[in-house]
A and B are shown apart, each in its own frame.
Chain A
Amino acid sequence: DAKTTQPPSMDCAEGRAANLPCNHSTISGNEYVYWYRQIHSQGPQYIIHGLKNNETNEMASLIITEDRKSSTLILPHATLRDTAVYYCIVRGESNFGNEKLTFGTGTRLTIIP
């Protein structure tokens, strides 16, 4: 599995855009970039994923660089409920094709009122 590197923590003011970076310089051509978040005492929640192109959904936008070695998750108007640990994951596959997720330690995002 390609490894990812994220800053351990970030702060963002409520109502502003939160931009969470992730480096994945060893990503291979067929690997997707996934973002999950985990709010305290809950299981991880899927946010968005992408391969090459930028992606947007109702929760966030994902910007992937042209060389695919890094990406940025953007929460356009952060709210207090966005305070969570955010995980950037490059999806791996085993010999059995189980597509397990390999989590790092993520970025703890704190939204400041």
Chain B
Amino acid sequence: DTGVSQNPRHKITKRGQNVTFRCDPISEHNRLYWYRQTLGQGPEFLTYFQNEAQLEKSRLLSDRFSAERPKGSFSTLEIQRTEQGDSAMYLCASVYGRANYGYTFGSGTRLTVV
């Protein structure tokens, strides 16, 4: 593995459409995080998986958002009925065990809702 991979890199969608993003973490990393970043701001925590279990969700994660990590490997983040306010960079990060040595982030998926 060379790092955390996110696909697609860019997504433009019409308001009201559903979108799904994929994150492939470093293979031995058991913890996976999703963050959202809007222009000029730092990343904001969305949700966290330890293996396949989703253990915490931010209040930012409305009912239109769902994340999965089947079999504790890759993860998907789906946004239903997209709104213009969902336009942001969605970042995935992974880490093995305790995060004492830092997370590895992917390059993100930039979503634009028109």
A interface residue numbers (CB < 8 A to B): 32, 34, 36, 41-47, 49, 85, 87, 91, 94, 96, 98-106
* Residues of chain B within 8 A of A41, CB atoms compared: 107
- Is B33 part of the binding interface, using a Cβ–Cβ cutoff of 8 Å? yes
| Other-chain residue from A42, A43, A91, A106 in contact with B42 (beta carbon distance below 8 A) | A106
Contact yes or no, A98 B50, CB < 8 A? yes
Sampled A-B contacts (21; CB under 8 Å): A32-B100, A42-B107, A43-B4, A43-B105, A44-B93, A45-B105, A46-B104, A49-B100, A85-B42, A91-B99, A96-B48, A96-B55, A96-B56, A98-B50, A100-B45, A100-B56, A102-B45, A103-B41, A103-B42, A103-B44, A105-B41
Work out how many contacts link A and B, with CB atoms closer than 8 A: 62
B interface residue numbers (CB < 8 A to A): 4, 31, 33, 35, 40-45, 48, 50, 55-56, 91, 93, 98-108
**With the chains together, A20 CA to B69 CA distance in Å?**
37
* Residues of chain A within 8 A of B107, CB atoms compared: 41-43
Contact yes or no, B48 A98, CB < 8 A? yes
